[in-house]
Amino acid sequence: MKDIMNAPFLVEMVRTTTNMYAHGWDERNGGNISWMLDEAQAAEYLDVNAVIRDIPTGFEAPALDGKYFIVTGTGKYFKNVQYDPACNLGVIRITDEGKNAQLLWGFTDGGKFTSEFPAHMMSHAARLSVDPANRIVMHCHPANLLAMTYVHDLDSRAFTRTLWQMCTECVVVFPEGVNVLPWMLCGTNEIGEATAEQMKTARLVVWSQHGIYGAGKDLDETFGLIETAEKAAEIYMKIAHLPRVNTITDEQLHLMEGRFGIKAREGWLD
Ligand code: 13P
Ligand code: ZN
């Protein structure tokens, strides 16, 4: 058995949580990440037959039965993951149609997965149904995106159009746009179901007055999506109170489509 501390999935989780904390996106225990692993990938570093304990999930997700995830723990601080990965992270296997999680490694202080586990697991199932390559769901609290939800129309098309207008390459990075949910109670199955529904049409889902969810094939892609949207929101918050003298027009965004071979969400450009 190889040392799990050298497992690429562990090393990358440590690097990413540390980097997200450094970006100011994850104050205190804010934010959470889940990464779906291949069984063979996990089996190189841990005994997949040695279940440490069972943790009920409180929801059903039959599509995820038998799937393995490395996930951040509830109440754990992203800044501390690098110092004690085994306490702050866990590897679990989903069983019983999603109703149970078998802990295979981690959460050494008796802890458990993030309170946003419903939104994570339901979002994985939703993304996999439209993109079999999806592996990551990431949630965090970036200040400018959050600020924007206090002063901007929360209509997904309007919100996306503003982000696309803030940096030329936004439309290339997230041509499907961002979907925006109104404020909802976090940590519930309801917000999980609503997030998963929105994840069927976009890899970014904003939780108004709370934060953002991103999904992607790896940590880099998912981090990059959130990073790009947050940069656009930062520019919006710098200019929102000033007269808009110039902007990026829909005609220019159509030129970007041609240049980069992408297609903006149907009907979201004029
Ligand atoms: P957890 O500590 O349970 O992961 O919760 C953090 C959070 O961001 C809730 O939305
Ligand atoms: Zn949160």
Last residue of a domain, one of 114, 143, 166: 114
**Ligand nearest, relative to CA of residue 116:** 1
Check whether residue 123 and residue 242 sit in a common domain.
yes
> How far, in Å, is the centroid of ligand 2 from the Cα of 137?
13
Give the separation between CA 113 and CA 65, rounded to whole angstroms: 17
User: Residue 21 corresponds to which amino acid?
Assistant: Y
Question: Tell me, what's the pLDDT at 125?
Answer: 98
Last residue of a domain, which of 59, 84, 114? Answer: 114
The CB of 234 under 6 Å from ligand 1? The reply is no
Residues 150 and 90 in one domain: no
Q: What is the CATH number of the domain that holds 36?
A: 3.40.225.10
Do 167 and 34 share a structural domain? no
CB contact at 8 A, 137 and 213: yes
Ligand 1 site-directed mutation target among 27, 29, 78, most atoms within 8 Å of CB: 29
The tally of domains found in the chain comes to 2
Active-site residue list: 116
126 and 102, same domain (yes or no): no
Distance 82 CA to ligand 1 centre (A): 18
CB 225 within 8 A of CB 204: yes
**Do 62 and 121 belong to one domain?**
no
What range defines the domain where residue 258 resides? Answer: 116-270
- Residues 177, 85 within the same domain: no
Pair (126, 251) in one structural domain? yes
CA of 114 to the centre of ligand 1 (A): 6
Residues of the chain with pLDDT under 50: none
> Do residues 87 and 136 both lie within one domain?
no
Q: What is the pLDDT of residue 178?
A: 99
Instruction: Answer yes or no: is the C-beta of 149 below 6 A from any ligand 1 atom.
Output: no
H or E stretch including 6? none
Which residues, in sequence order, are CB contacts of 12 under 8 Å at separation 6+?
219
CB of 57 shorter than 6 A to ligand 1? no
Amino acid 137: pLDDT: 99
Same domain, 140 and 159: yes
pLDDT in tens, 220-263: 999 999 999 999 999 999 999 999 999 999 999 999 999 999 99
Which residues, 6 or more positions from 60, have their beta carbon under 8 angstroms from its beta carbon? 97, 98, 99
Residues in the chain: 270
75 lines ligand 1 (CB under 6 A): yes
Q: Which of 61, 80, 114 is the last residue of a domain?
A: 114
Within 66-171, strands assigned E span 68-72, 89-95, 100-106, 136-140
| Rounded alpha-carbon distances, angstroms, from residue 212 to 133, 143, 192, 215 | 21, 10, 13, 10
205 vs 189, 191, 198, CA distance in Å?
16, 11, 7
Ligand 2 is an ion; its neighbours by CB within 5 Å are: 211
Are 216 and 106 contained in the same domain?
no
List CB contacts of 39: < 8 A, sequence separation 6 or more: 48, 66, 68
Whether the pTM exceeds 0.95: the reply is yes
Q: Are residues 90 and 189 in the same domain?
A: no
State in Å: Cα 171 to ligand 1 middle.
29
73 lines ligand 1 (CB under 6 A): no
Sequence-ordered strand ranges (E) for the chain: 32-37, 53-56, 68-72, 89-95, 100-106, 136-140, 178-181, 204-207, 211-216
